Amino acid sequence: YCAMASGFSAGEAVARAPQEPTVPSLDLARVALLKGHGVTLEAIEPMGAKVAGLDLKGPEPPAAVLEALQAEMAARGFLVFSGQGVLSGDEQCKASELWGGRQMHSTHGVHPKAPNEHIFRLSNDPDVGINGVGPQWHNDGSFEVGVFSHVGYHIIRVPEKKGDTCFAHLGAAFDALPRATQEFWFRLVSVNATSGVLHPMVHDHLITGRRSVYLHLGMTGGVLEKIGEDQFRLLGEDELQKLFHSYNDLLNNGFPENGGNYAISYQYQEGDCIFIDNLALAHKASPQAHFDAKEQGLRILHRTTVKAMKPFLPGFNLPSTATQELLRDAQETSKGKGVFVAGGLGFRWDSTIRMQN
């Protein structure tokens, strides 16, 4: 994915915003094309869609089918391939490589019970899988120049009680922002705490062109603001706290129970294999996903991550990764009030919440 919106002027922002936040309906032409190949789509409200008639264990579908499905993934955020049974690790990897960069990009720790090195095995029982990951809104692979294009989630064991994954549509979230906030966020670039990689807070999605927001709430060390020609400053502590809380509130406000129409807490069904467009959506684990297996029931989820289609660059003629000189100059421009927290979870924007990557 290439960040295409980072260098936009305030005039361009005004021309395109604000709008009513919406997730697009299923594209009728794509629905018809897929139906001709025996594949049906059913919209999930307020976002996502369910796919039937395609066996992920079977031969690779025709290119036109894959293109249509990937376009719907980009537009509505995620697709649920239902009734898949239990995929082996190799079968899940094969299905993952149908999308985006068409190649696995695996950077996670490998649990002893994972079927192969590409499967990130998650569970609420640490003896069975890795526990406690991703409680805050984020996009996977944010420490990479090329953020993962797509992510797969295959439920191996559905808990007796809830163990959802939450998704928020980042294009609709941008449209929900006040105009002044949109213009401010246009000027911002996040600095990853572990790698120093730079990513724009606003970009145009590579496939849909949808203007979208982006921020990792569990691995960002600081945020740069462009304030002049080739001049940047680091946001201060109070500014970062306000920014992170605003982003968190924006995505949480998308849930229907909060009056929104661009976020969902998806409850897994047996046989579900979900694929998301990783820059169309942010995601987080629901609190119940981490509850003790003795109380909640055992939850096992296999995650896969797919190579980027293009680098996700910050724009503004910035390098892909922050240099010491860039951070030093930005700190001087901030008159010593700027904040960058290197390593681990980065800037702790709320001391009362749990954070884990």
62-84 tens-digit pLDDT: 999 999 999 999 999 999 999 99
Distance CA 165, CA 73 (A): 16
Q: What is the pLDDT of residues 155-165, one digit of tens each?
A: 999 999 989 99
Q: CB–CB of 307/149 below 8 Å? A: yes
- The SS3 call for residue 224 is strand
Average pLDDT over residues 187-204: 98
| β-bridge partners, 213 | 202
Residue 2 has pLDDT above 50, yes or no: no
> Cα–Cα distances in Å, from 122 out to 99, 156, 186?
22, 10, 35
Beta-strand relationship, 40-43 and 120-123: unpaired
The length of the chain, given as a count of residues: 357
pTM (2 decimals)? 0.94
Q: Is 60 exceeded by the pLDDT of residue 13?
A: no
In terms of C-beta density within 10 A (0-12 exposed, 13-18 middle, 19 or more buried), how is residue 324 classed? exposed
* pLDDT for 254: 98
End-to-end CA distance of the chain: 22
If pLDDT is split at 50, 70 and 90, which confidence band does 18 have? low
Strand order in the sheet with 165-169: 263-266, 165-169, 281-285
Question: Does residue 287 have a cis bond before it (omega within 30 degrees)?
Answer: no
- Return the pLDDT at 17: 45
Using one digit for the tens of pLDDT, what is the confidence trace for 199-246?
A: 999 999 999 999 999 999 999 999 999 999 999 999 999 999 999 999
pLDDT surpasses 70 at 43? yes
pLDDT tops 90 at residue 10? no
CA distance 181 to 334: 20
Helix axes 28-36, 63-76, angle to 10 degrees: 150
> Is 211 within 8 Å of 14 (Cβ atoms)?
no
Identify which of 151, 165, 167, 168 has the alpha carbon closest to the alpha carbon of residue 288: 165
**CB-CB contact of 32 with 340 (8 Å):** no
Residue 15 has pLDDT above 60, yes or no: no
Q: Which two tokens stand for residue 161?
A: 């009680």
What integer best gives the mean pLDDT of the chain?
A: 94
How far is it, in rounded angstroms, from Cα 133 to Cα 123? 9
Q: What percent of the chain has pLDDT over 70?
A: 95
pLDDT for 191: 98
pLDDT at 248 exceeding the cut of 90: yes
DSSP string, 264-326: EEEPP-TT-EEEEETTTEEEEE-GGGGS-HHHH---EEEEEEB--SS-----TT--SB--HHH
pLDDT tens track for 93-111? 999 999 999 999 999 999 9
